[in-house]
Amino acid sequence: MKIEVFEGKTKEEAKEKALAELNVSENEVFIKEEEKKGKLFKATTYVCKIVKITDVANFLKEKLAEMLKNMGIECQFETNVRDEQINIKMYSDKNNILIGKNGQTLMAIQTVLRQIAFNEIGTYPYILLDVENYKEKKISNLERNAKRIAREVLKTKIDVSLDNMNSYERRIIHNALSKYKNLSTTSEGEEPNRHIVIRYVETEEPEENGEEE
């Protein structure tokens, strides 16, 4: 994975130089900007470290293959980048091992990959790691259940607290209900007991849903 380094008198100049020379748009790369203090009588310059998202995706796929090989698991991969998100789907005859109880093993592997990326490029990319269609089905079920409860809240005007969820699952719920009028969704509680509360609100305008996770 090649990380390109560019310098400029300002952050903007360094970034523009990097994007122009690599002929890429800002949403196709990861950028880390640093300030380089000048020595005696020398002006401060700015450093832009830049790497293509597709290169990071290929790098992480290689690291994942190494990790699974050490676990004694042979796996095929399907990798793509969509909306600045790295999607890696795994196909194996040991899917249950890769997923783990309630998806815990899958989430742990995803967390390790994000840390590997951070160690290399200085930022945490958004990675969606899946085993065949496990997460797709889970997202579909979460959204369907959330919308069913939302309709009940609109009908009864009674708030409903959902089960405890991790930040990834809560984000799915927030997004699924973000366009519902007369509803708000907030996350409450402390990890690992953090959950979403769906509330009816007396307003004709949609409330701002979600939160910074």
pLDDT along the chain (213 residues), means of 10: 90 91 92 78 83 95 94 93 91 93 90 94 90 88 95 96 89 93 93 92 62 48
Asked if 81 and 87 touch (Cβ cutoff 8 Å), the reply is yes
Say how far apart CA 124 and CA 109 lie, in whole Å.
14
Question: What's the CA gap between 74 and 55, in Å, rounded?
Answer: 23
The stretches of the chain forming alpha helices (DSSP H) are 11-22, 53-70, 95-99, 104-121, 134-156, 167-176
**109 residue type, one letter:** I
What is the per-residue pLDDT for 192?
Answer: 79
What residues contact residue 192 under an 8 Å CB cut-off, 6+ apart? 164, 166
Confidence at residue 206, expressed as pLDDT on a 0 to 100 scale:
47
Task: Return the pLDDT at 191.
Answer: 83
Query: Residue 163: its pLDDT value, please?
Result: 92
